[in-house]
Structure 1
Amino acid sequence: MSSTTSKPQSPRLVTRTREPLAPIVDTPAALQHVCELVAAATGPVALDTERAGSFRYSQGAYLVQLRRDGVGTVLIDPVAFPDLKPLNRAIGKAEWILHDATQDLPCLSELGMRPQLLFDTELAAKLLNFEGFGLAAVMEQVLDITLAKEHSAADWSTRPLPSDWQTYAALDVDYLIELRNELWLQLQDEDKDDWAEQEFDFLLDFQPPAPKPDPWRHVPGSGKVHAPRNLAALRELWYSRDELAQDEDLAPTKVLTNAAMIALAAGLPKGKRYMGTLEDFRHDRVGRKRADRWFAALRRSYQLSTKELPPRRAPRIPGEVPDSRTFTHNHPLEADRWRRLREAVAGVATQLDVNYEAMLEPKTIRRLAWVLPDDAPESQVLEVLQASQARPWQIENTLDSLVKALKSEN
């Protein structure tokens, strides 16, 4: 791990914000006032969001936290507004500070907010090869403070928000500006500031991955469902559950647990009275109340002709690279190439004192192993790296090692 400032044995636990929190911003007048303060202030803007994906169907933000010098820490209820475009205009070209930007950028974008300049404190910590990358861990390593995490699993769609929840959320941005400044100094000291800027610029255009086709195939435990008729049942149950969850704005597992759904698909009960014999369904108290709905989904799968049943394996999407498990089990030549490439990237990461996944994205390494032959020339490797959107600093530092790793004598 990179050297950091010396710290006491026990970091200071922070349980209060530095200034008293104002009431949550949930009226047009209050939002306008905040926008005026933000526009008049200077310096970077620390931002964070709280979501309720474990409780609600929506993956959007249910709270936005903001801090800027001259403004202090502000909590905004995005549900109270059609969007937060006025706040985005007030921030203007100022730098956003986020921790793990890929988590917050999509839901902020839904609110009409998009940065023009960005600093990701988690990514900075990865470039500096810290031992831990969570916000609390990075705070401890850099600022010698630790944040309480007792409300990390809270339902942020709750209204009104309890005052201790508000404090917890506010602390996620209360020290983010100082954290950014210290991390930037360390990046400069280790000559990694240019690498960081390339990464932050790349994040400005970040979009979440497109939804996977056949999402029902990716339910935890779906490996227990094999035969086409059972897979059809799983598909019908998944779409029935998803429709209900969306209508009621509940997390899908709040209307039928994954374990209960897998049990129904694997067991294929022929009548409602047999559904209760399946232990995982019997233990799903909420799901049992909708037994009629789930049996209707099962009945639809029973009525499908053989031609209408899904194949055992998901159809391969043209150009898609298999996941690591598929590599290992079904593609031994590519798996061997993948192993060599991973070892090469890990070696470079160790040499440069950079986290392995920041050195080169795992999906890029899989693509190299999948599309390139052994003994591929440097020009071919470079073409795949560029097509995979590897950044210039990554290409400069890994290209030679990747070419060597592809040599057939390895």
Structure 2
Amino acid sequence: MSRPPEPAPRLVTTTEDLAALCDRLRQEPFVTVDTEFMRERTYWPELCVVQLAGMQEVAVVDALAEGLDLAPLGELLADPAVIKVFHAARQDVEIFLLKFGAVPAPLFDTQVAAMVAGFGDQASYDSLVRALTGGAIDKAHRFSDWSARPLSAAQIAYAAADVTHLRQVYLRLRERLLNEGRLDWVAQEMDALLEPATYLTAPEEAWERLKPRTSNRRFLGVLRAAAAWREAEAQRINIPRGRLLKDETLLEVAATAPETPEQLARARGVSEGFARGKSGAGLLAAIAAAKALPEEALPQPLEGRKGAGASPALVALLKVLLAAAAEAHHVAPRLIADTEELERLAAEPEPELRCLTGWRREVFGADALALKQGRLALGVAGRRVRLIQV
């Protein structure tokens, strides 16, 4: 028996229609959610379209429609009786956190669930749709300008497909995980996604993403101050951080630590106007404050933090054990532990790590400790790694 055709997606442009839609969707056990946004010219994402689907209807909400109040959407996303289903939720959730001040909850991310179900690291939406429903996604409008109006019929159909197929992906993943007794594993992963701190970049931590490879703490202090200034200023005027100052320029500024507009203007990528203007003054003030810090207030090198001193050979053995555990349990390795955790596990006597708690300890952590303590060895049986009790 063939599946009945999907209802045509509804385009929502008024607050009244949105409120009615959200009232209906709040009667559903779950709703699938996606967004289309623009971020090329701004620091903060500009929400353009929200796609919503229950089992009975699919809607595309024009978030830029004149006079539209998105408050009913915020109430739906906060309703504890309705599971909000996303694929690769982080950017969508960030948008809703900024707009409504809260993370949608309860939340289910099918990309994370797919990692638990053995579909590998960061399974794409397209691949899950093919594997679990036999459907296909039209990618023609993936790079549309979603801020342009009016939305075309093709754009609306493309946007709707992102939540239409997601319903079956969710239901089939959930059934599979329920049968395997792994729904609790996914629930543990959702806890991290429900933390607002997951989505917000603290300016004082922005320097770490540059991954400077130096032990010069004075340089790191200036870099921390300059990167924090750039992050806060980019947020304030709402432009991409790289448009304000590129990463390589920031590193050069930290290395030269200029004190005057003339010195700042010598840095590659810094214009005279920037150096002599309000932005240049703000950056120079941040650099001066960093240069005045006492030694003990300067940041530690990233390499000198926890995990340093780990035996490369032991880390390599732990990676083999991780791959074997992931293969045996049909779970994506990255979901169990990442390289930083393995390095800390190798270097520290009793580190507090995710991989040593909960289901991760069962599939990997306990064996990793036994390997580290010499109570477990690795061998080969046929084409598979074998664990040997010592």
Q: TM-score range by the shorter chain?
A: 0.7 to 0.9
Which of these residues, 111, 125, 144, is aligned with residue 114 of structure 2? 125
How far did 1:67 drift?
A: 0.6
Q: Compare 141-150 and 252-261 and name the one that shifted more.
A: 141-150
Quote the offset at 1:199 in angstroms.
Answer: 1.4
Q: Any conservation in 2 of the 1:98–1:119 contact (CA below 8 Å)?
A: yes
Q: Tell me how large the CA RMSD over aligned residues is.
A: 4.2
Shift of 1:203: 0.9
- 1:8 maps to what in 2? none
1:282-330 Cα offsets, whole Å, 9 max, x none, are: 6xxxxx65332354245436755954277796248xxxxx77x9677x4
Other structure's SS at 1:75 match: strand
User: Could you tell me the percent identity over the aligned residues?
Assistant: 17
1:340 CA drift (Å): 3.4
Say if 2:316 is the partner of 1:350: no
Change (3 A) 1:367 1:62: farther
- Give 1:216 shift: 4.4
The equivalent of 1:10 in structure 2 is none
State the partner residue of 1:55. 41
Q: CA deviation at 1:226?
A: 5.2
* Match of residue 97, structure 1, among 85, 89, 101: 85
Tell me which moved more, 52-61 or 95-104. 52-61
Q: Take 1:101 and 1:303, find their aligned partners in 2: how far apart are those partners?
A: 40
Q: Give the C-alpha shift of residue 68 in structure 1.
A: 0.8
Paired residues of 1:37 and 1:71 also in contact (CA < 8 A)? no
Cα 1:264–1:389, aligned 2, differ >3 Å: closer, same or farther? Answer: closer
Map residues 219-258 of structure 1 onto 2, 5 A cutoff.
220=210, 222-223=212-213, 228=218, 231=220, 234-258=223-247
Secondary structure at 1:97 match in 2 = strand
Q: CA 1:168–1:273 in 2, change beyond 3 Å: closer, same or farther?
A: farther
CA distance in structure 1 between the partners assigned to 2:155 and 2:276 by the alignment:
38
Deviations 1:129-174 (A, max 9, x none): 3256021222233333443446556676x36474355444332212
Structure-to-structure mapping, 1:294-373, within 5 angstroms: 294-297=279-282, 299-300=284-285, 303=288, 307-308=292-293, 314-315=299-300, 330-333=308-311, 336-360=313-337, 364-372=341-349
So what's the TM-score if we normalise by structure 1? Answer: 0.69
Structure 1 residues 198 and 359: CA distance shift in structure 2, 3 A: same
Name the stretch that deviates more: 230-239 or 119-128: 230-239
Give the counterpart of 1:260 among 227, 240, 249.
249
**1:175 partner SS:** helix
Residues in 1 aligned to 2:366 and 2:215: alpha-carbon distance in whole angstroms = 44
Code of the aligned partner of 1:314: P
Shift, 1:177, TM fit: 0.7
Give secondary structure in 1 for the equivalent of 2:210: coil
- Tell me what 2:51 maps to: 65
Alignment of structure 1 residues 107-186 onto 2, 5 Å? 107-110=95-98, 111=100, 112=102, 114-116=104-106, 118-130=107-119, 133-149=123-139, 152=142, 158=147, 160=149, 162-163=151-152, 165-186=155-176
Distance 1:403 1:74, change over 3 A: same
| Superposed displacement of residue 50, structure 1 | 3.7
Q: Which amino acid aligns with 1:55?
A: R
Q: Does 1:402 align with 2:368?
A: yes
1:199 aligns with 2:186: yes
TM-score, structure 2 length as denominator? 0.72
Aligned partner of 2:19 among 26, 32, 35: 32
- SS for the counterpart of 2:10 is coil
Q: Determine the structure 1 residue equivalent to 2:380.
A: none
Which amino acid is 1:403 matched to?
Answer: L
Q: Deviations over 1:18-73 (max 9, x none)?
A: 55443344x43122111232134x34311123444543333585543211122223
Q: Which position in structure 2 is the counterpart of 1:218?
A: 208
- What CA distance in whole angstroms lies between the structure 1 residues aligned with 2:150 and 2:36? 12
- Gaps of at least 5 residues in structure 2 are 378-390
